[in-house]
Every structure is written in C-alpha cells, then in structure tokens.
Amino acid sequence: MKNTKWNFKKVNNAEIAKNNELPLDKDILSILYSRNISNKKDIIEFLNPSLSNIQDHHLLKDLKKSVDIIFDAMKNKKNIWIYGDYDVDGITSTSLLYLVFQKLGYNNINYYIPIRDEGYGLNKNAIEQIKNSGGDLIITVDCGITSFEEIDFANSLKLPVIITDHHEINKKLPKASAVINPKREDNEFSFKYLAGVGVAFLLAAGLFEEAGQKDEVYSLLDLTAIGTVADIVPLVQENRIFVKFGLEQLLHTEIPGLKYLCSLIFDPGKKEYTTYDVGFILAPVFNAAGRLKDAKMVVKLLTTDNKREIEIISKELISKNNERKVLQEKIIADVEENIQKNSLNDNYVIVDYSPEYHHGVIGIVASKIIDTYYKPTVIMEVKEDEDIAVASARSIEGFNLIEALQTMPELFLKFGGHAGAAGFTIPVKNIKSFIKKINDYAKKKLDENDFVKLINIDKEIPIQKVSYEFYQIIDLLKPFGFGNPNPTFAVKNIILENIKHIGQNKNHLMFNIKKNGFVSRNAVWFGAGSNFKDLNQNIFYDLAFKLKVEDYMDKSYTKVYVDDIKNSELNDDRYSYFYSLYHTVFPLKSIFYTNIELEPDIPLTPKMDFEQISLFQGNKFVGRLDYNVSNLLTQLMKFYNYTFKIQIEDIQKTDIHYTVDILIKKNYDFLSYAYNEKRLFIDIKNFILGNMEYDSFTKTVLASFFKGEKNLIIPNDKTYNFKNAFLTFGIYFMKKNNLKSQIVTSSKSMQFSDLFLKHYFDINKEYKDGYPFTVFFNSAPESEINERNIIISDDYENENYEKIDFSFVIPENVVLKTPKEIMKLENEKNIFFEFIPVKEKLKIKKLLENGEKIYSDKSIYEIL
C-alpha cells in the first residue's frame, strides 16, 4: 500500500460544547469548527444560506461610481467593450455582463477574450484594436488589477477603463476610471475572496438596481456558480450562497446555450448539479476552447439564442474537450516514460520539457504527475521557433512555488502564480540552470518526509455513520469545494469482505466493509488494483474515505469512496462506540421503498423482526427499513431502552415503486394504564430508566416532594443530576393534568436543550400562570403561587418550603477520573460512563456493591 501519513484535524472540544444547544450532530459541528465556522450565528447562516445574506454591493469601493459611468455611457450611446480572460471565470464573467446589457436593452456592446498565446490580462495590442474599432469604454472582468502600463496606454488613447477584478493588489491601484476589487483595503464589503464572476455579479446587481430591476440579477446565478466553482475560490460566505443557489438554478437555466450543452454532457432526468459536475465535467468543456482554440466561442454559446449556432458550438466544444483528453493522456504517458528513463523522480522537483507538450494541458499533466509521485512538478512546452519554453508548475504541501521562483527571477522572461500553482516563460538556454536552482532550493526546504502524501481527515466516525441517514446531515454542508471540501472520514478496526478487481483494466478495487453488525457494500478504491494482495494479508483495517449517495433504478445507495487504507492497530474502541450510539442525534432523515400506497398523514409503527425493522401503518405491513438503520435502532432499543416513532415526510411515485422519505424520532410519549399512584411511579421510572433504579439524590427529592406534600428548596450543587427528577415531575403532572410543566430560568445550560425534557416542560425566562408544576432554576417566585413548585437556589429562604440538604458519599472503591484519563486505562474492565448500556450499568453496580474497584467520572452518581 502507498506510503501515506494521516492527519486528523484538531478541534477544541470545550469550545464545541458551547454550542451544544444546537440540534446538530457533534461530528458535523466538529467539522464546522475545523473550518473556522464556530459562533452560533455563523453556523446557522452557513447551514441555512440565504440570498438576503449577500452583502450590499454598494459596500464595494467604486461600484456606485462604475454604475454611474456605465449609465452615462449608455445614455450617450457609447460603444462599450467587456474585456475578459480565457479561463472559465473570465468566460462566465464576460458572458454575465454581456447578458446584463442585453437584459437592459443596450446593444452597442462587444467583448474581447484574448487567446492563450496573448497571455493573461490586458495587452496593448488588444486595447489599440478596441480603440480602432470605435470602443469608448472598457470594462475588465477577472483581470486588470496589475495592468499599470496597459491602463496608462489606454488613458493615452483617451479610452476609459473600469477594472473589475479579484486578484491580489500590488500595493497601489492602476489609474483606471474606477477599480472594483474585494481585496481593496478601503472596502466596507468584508469578504475578500470572490471570484471574478462574483465581482461581476455585484456590478450587475448595481446596474439592475439603477434600472429599477433589482431582482433580475438573480437570473444570472447559474453563470456565477460555474465561474466561482471553476476558479477554486473558498466556498464560504457570499461564494457559498452564489454556488448553492446557482447550482439549483442550473437545473432550470434560462440560458439556451448552457441548457443545450448540459443536455449533451449530462444524463437526462438529472435531479441536481454538484460542484463536481461543474468543476470536473462542465468546466473542462469550457476550458477546452481556451486551451486548444478560442474561448470567445464559449461566450458566443452563452449569449446567443440562435439554435443553429448553439448546436454547432456545443458539439465543437465537446469535440475539443475529447481532443484535449487524448492529448493530455498522451503527454502524461510521455512524461511518465521520461521520468522512468531519466530517473527524474530522484530529484526533489520533477521537471520535464519537450516541443511535443501542449501549453494548454501541461498544468493538468503536472497535477496528475503529483498524484503519482507526490513531488513538486514543472512541465514545459518548448517553442523551438521562439527559443523559449512555457511552463506550468504544481506543488505539494510545504513547498511555496512562487517563493521559489522569486529566488531566481533572472532566469525568466515572466513568471507569476501562488504557493500551489505557478507559470513562467523561460529561454531554452536557461532550463538546465533552472532545474539545478529549483532543486537546490527545494533541498533546503524539503526532506524525504515531505514526499509522503498527507491524507487530511476531518473526523473519525463510528461505523454506523456510514449510512444514508448520516449523509443527509453531511448534505447540509454542501456545496463542497475549495475552502469547504467534501469531508474525509476515517473508520477503524473494520473487516473487508469480498475484495475484487473492477474496471476495464482491473486497476480498481471493490469490497464490502463490516463492523458491529453494520455493512456497507461495494466500497470503491480507485487506482488501487496493485493493493489486492496486501488487503488479503490482514483481518482488520482502518479506512480514510468520502461518503456519497448514488441513485440506481430509482433507489438511493450509500457509497464509500476510499482515499487510503492502513493496517489497523486494533485499539479498543468499545467505549467510543457506546459514546457515539448514546449521542445519536434525532430526528434522523431516512428512506424506504414500498409497492403499497400509503396515507401520508398517518405515522408508521416500527416493529422488530429478525434482522430488519418492519413498518406498519395501522395493522398493515408497508415495508422495511434497511439493514443498517434497522441495526442502529435495534441496538439503541437494546442498550438504552429507546423507542421510536416514524413520520412520513414525502412520498414519490416512480415507475417501479413508491419512494418514502421519513423522519425517525425518539418516542417521548409516556403510556401507562396504572390503577394507583404506586403503579404509576413504577411505570414512570421504567419509562425513564428501564431496569435501573433512581439514584439516591433523585429518590430523596421525589420522596420529600410527594410524601411530604411540601414544596422544596434544593441547593444548586453541580454534582447533582436533576434530569431524572425533572422528568418524573414532568411526566407525572402531564399524566394528571394533560398539560406541560414549566422551568423558569435564564440559564443556557445544555440540560435545558434536552428534547426529552422539552417534551414535558416549557423553558421560560419568566414565570407564567397556567402550569400545573414549576421549577425555578436559579430564580424564585416574586410572590406566593398556587401550583406545586421546586426552587433550585443556593440563597433562597422560605419557611413554607422544605430545604433539601443532600451530600453524596463516594465509596472508597470508586476511583474518580476525567473521561480522558479513564479512556487511557488499559486492561481495566470495571469502568462506568453515563453512555454504557443499561445492562453494563447494572453489572457495574453489582460489582460496586461487592467492593470491587470501579473507575468512573462524575456520572457514577447515577448508581449511588
């Protein structure tokens, strides 16, 4: 297997606990924290993006000024030119602004996209050509912020330029008529990482607002999403909003050319577009024009409604992309051959060059070589007639390409880029000197350990979360992309079954993964066919993977796509497994399939079968939950006495069956046919604790309250667990009065966010009339009240209340430790946590009574 290193992202669990009142799976909360989304407001906005959260476009410096200049030009029927770039961001930005003018009814508009040989950005020849063609105003998109000489040249021609760009600003700004850039320090707009098309979108918002058509800008979200995804900017804040709603709009795009092209390259009946669809399927088709021909043909496609033009251009683009793929594969093969023949992999930086390499694909080739060798890679096309080479470079973690190139500027005609990707033009005579210098520099920065590929893992998860249900929660984090990648998870100590080669060349692997009764079928490890023998040597393995849900024959299947596999160290994970089960977050979104017509408003009743949970509507059997969710619910029932109720969310009829979306909830409804008070209290206790008994504190509180018939004052000692007492009171008074009770508190303690508790109590900041029972938590009634109540306070005094003084006596055979300390204990069996199964708790209680040493945190009070 490959030599890799796993890096588990670290988060502060104490900080995460501050947001425990949010009804979120803690693993998802952990992922958000690792991505610096940590305060409650940011979390809520991230999970519920809204168009209304896009900041006001006026907060961008010079945007209003640009709108005024453009409207003045339109008023005077000036000839306006949009100057873009040949990548997808530039293409979509150009198309977006062109469509804006079309929608505003302005036709004296043109666009200019340089071909790749002209290089990136503004150039003087193009500016002069625009001027000679009658141009009166240039609006740049995705370029211009570093074009100082070119802007001065345009000014000398009396050709005004508005710059809209998103690239880094080099201390000062060009002397353009206006400069819109989110990286300007004098912006009030707080988000700096828009793509060029995002900046164009905000300019469009200003133009439409000025024209009294404010909401028209949202019709361009599909183009905004495509450019944003393709330019690999962080998919957070405004970018996340653009992409989320833009991908939704792409399904119903109003752009004829885009609609037709998508119909050719995607399967019919597609239910959603993802960032993968845009970044790896659609964007390469757009890019193929700029790489091998002329990107202007894509702008034409996106701005015309001529069906014949659309058909011809779409098919030409697909043809060019296929040509690009063939060329790319050939160059990769040639580079691989040179690496082997000339031992290029012995160097710290792999450098290869040839006249046979095409500059349009060498960046992709460099990335593919890194996938294989995990070393910084530079691929060059040699232009023999000009005696120069054009290079694309890609890097690995820990090696900053642009810093490396800056140490040898004398070698290049021009260069640029950033830490991970760069490009340059170099005289052929300097290539060998470059190879020596870049490798000498790399030897100072890297060692052999840096050539071990790092697998960044967001979270280790338990096996039961390899499921459709957990994927529905992950789905809240979409759209994925740079800055918000599809999470990589790890599961440990799993068994692989039915390992087999797949693929035309048998170079991929497929297998089932299994643990604790949970099975995920047909996991795929691409490009790992050579590991077949290794995976048959051991029994237990650890997996790093991504989780997806795919549709086949109108059914959804959870799929594991493996990033890496290592031999398991077989650490005992029994307690972490119990912890994860106990903290399963409900409700769960799930799904099942049936051929029986259902009543959508009638809930479903789950019943245990041998291996699966059967579902009934009334007395009618209607279907089964799948094996994994059945196993999860079965274990929760067995270990913790949980019961469940199932609500139908949606029913969709297909040609084959009904697809039923359901919500699985913990059942907090108490049912008792008790004929006296004693029997009622037994039923309540069994409902809350099963075979467990109340702890001594809860027994004291309940006995004092019900037998003494006095209201109580209880000190707010943090060692007390009030939950079981609260639940007993709440259930009792609900049974007697068919009304909820109330807890009056200003505390934000996580215990008050418990859904079980909220089923029987309203949590109020101030006292309200009409409840049969009230708990005052760190508060007290301002006057006498009639209903039964308890006051939990350290300083309240009232002679009409009975004060409970209670202290725990910790037996000598109990060793109190923190949970972390306990988890490090090896070979110790007598461990008590609140999350171990009820049967285990009863066993520990018996051992405790027999004098055996017990290790526990403060949850031991539950059995004292």
Same domain, yes or no: 737 and 799: yes
For 530, which DSSP code? G
Residue 236 contacts residue 192 (beta carbons within 8 Å): no
Give the pLDDT confidence of 174-198 residue by residue, as tens digits. Answer: 999 999 999 999 999 999 999 999 9
Higher-pLDDT residue of 826, 500: 500
Residue 22 to residues 38, 464, 472, 528, Cα–Cα distance (Å): 12, 22, 17, 40
Same domain, yes or no: 604 and 513: no
Of the three residues 781, 803, 825, the one that is the final residue of a domain is 803
In a domain, 624, yes or no: yes
Secondary structure of residue 393 in the 3-state scheme = strand
Q: Could you tell me how far CA 553 lies from the centroid of its own chain?
A: 27
Same domain, yes or no: 305 and 364: no
Domain extent for 772: 677-803
Same domain, yes or no: 168 and 123: yes
Structure tokens belonging to residue 22: 């949010």
What global pTM score does this model have? Answer: 0.87
The Cα 116–Cα 390 span in angstroms is 11
Q: How confident is the model at residue 242 (pLDDT cuts 50, 70, 90)?
A: very high
Q: Residue 306: CB partners within 8 Å, gap ≥ 6?
A: none
Same domain, yes or no: 500 and 571: yes
Higher-pLDDT residue of 723, 753: 723
The Cα 421–Cα 400 span in angstroms is 9
In a domain, 16, yes or no: no
Q: How confident is the model at residue 543 (pLDDT cuts 50, 70, 90)?
A: very high
Model pLDDT, residue 19: 67
Residue 76 contacts residue 172 (beta carbons within 8 Å): no
Give the pLDDT confidence of 2-43 residue by residue, as tens digits. Answer: 788 999 998 877 677 666 667 788 889 889 988 888 888 888
Query: Considering all CA atoms of the chain, what is the largest pairwise distance in Å, rounded to the nearest integer?
Result: 103
In a domain, 42, yes or no: no
Task: Tell me how crowded residue 781 is: count the other CB atoms within 10 A of its CB.
Answer: 15
Model pLDDT, residue 552: 85
Average pLDDT, the chain: 92
In percent, how much of the chain has pLDDT > 90? 73
Model pLDDT, residue 688: 95
Same domain, yes or no: 723 and 840: no
Same domain, yes or no: 72 and 128: yes
CATH number at residue 491: 2.40.50.460
pLDDT higher than 70, residue 716: yes
Give the pLDDT confidence of 332-368 residue by residue, as tens digits. Answer: 999 999 999 999 999 999 999 999 998 878 988 999 9
Count of residues making up the chain:
864
Same domain, yes or no: 291 and 425: no
In a domain, 23, yes or no: no
Domain count, the chain: 6
In a domain, 354, yes or no: yes
Give the pLDDT confidence of 501-518 residue by residue, as tens digits. Answer: 999 889 999 999 999 999
Q: How confident is the model at residue 146 (pLDDT cuts 50, 70, 90)?
A: confident
CATH number at residue 387: 3.10.310.30
Q: Give which of 701, 785, 707 is closest to 741, Cα–Cα.
A: 785
In a domain, 809, yes or no: no
Of the three residues 756, 771, 803, the one that is the final residue of a domain is 803
Average pLDDT of span 248-267: 95
pLDDT higher than 70, residue 167: yes
Is the peptide bond prior to 715 cis by the omega test (within 30 degrees of 0)?
Answer: no
Same domain, yes or no: 720 and 614: no
Same domain, yes or no: 591 and 733: no
Of the three residues 580, 595, 622, the one that is the final residue of a domain is 580
Model pLDDT, residue 758: 93
Q: How confident is the model at residue 705 (pLDDT cuts 50, 70, 90)?
A: very high
Q: Render 611-656 in DSSP notation, one character per residue.
A: SSEEEEETTEEEEE--HHHHHHHHHHHHHH---EEEEEEEEEE-SS
Model pLDDT, residue 291: 67
In a domain, 44, yes or no: no
In a domain, 3, yes or no: no
Higher-pLDDT residue of 167, 311: 311
Residue 644 contacts residue 665 (beta carbons within 8 Å): yes
Give the pLDDT confidence of 779-812 residue by residue, as tens digits. Answer: 888 888 889 999 999 888 888 899 988 887 889 9
Same domain, yes or no: 733 and 842: no
Structure tokens belonging to residue 428: 């052929």
Same domain, yes or no: 544 and 594: no
Alpha helices in 709-835 (DSSP H): 723-737, 755-760, 819-823
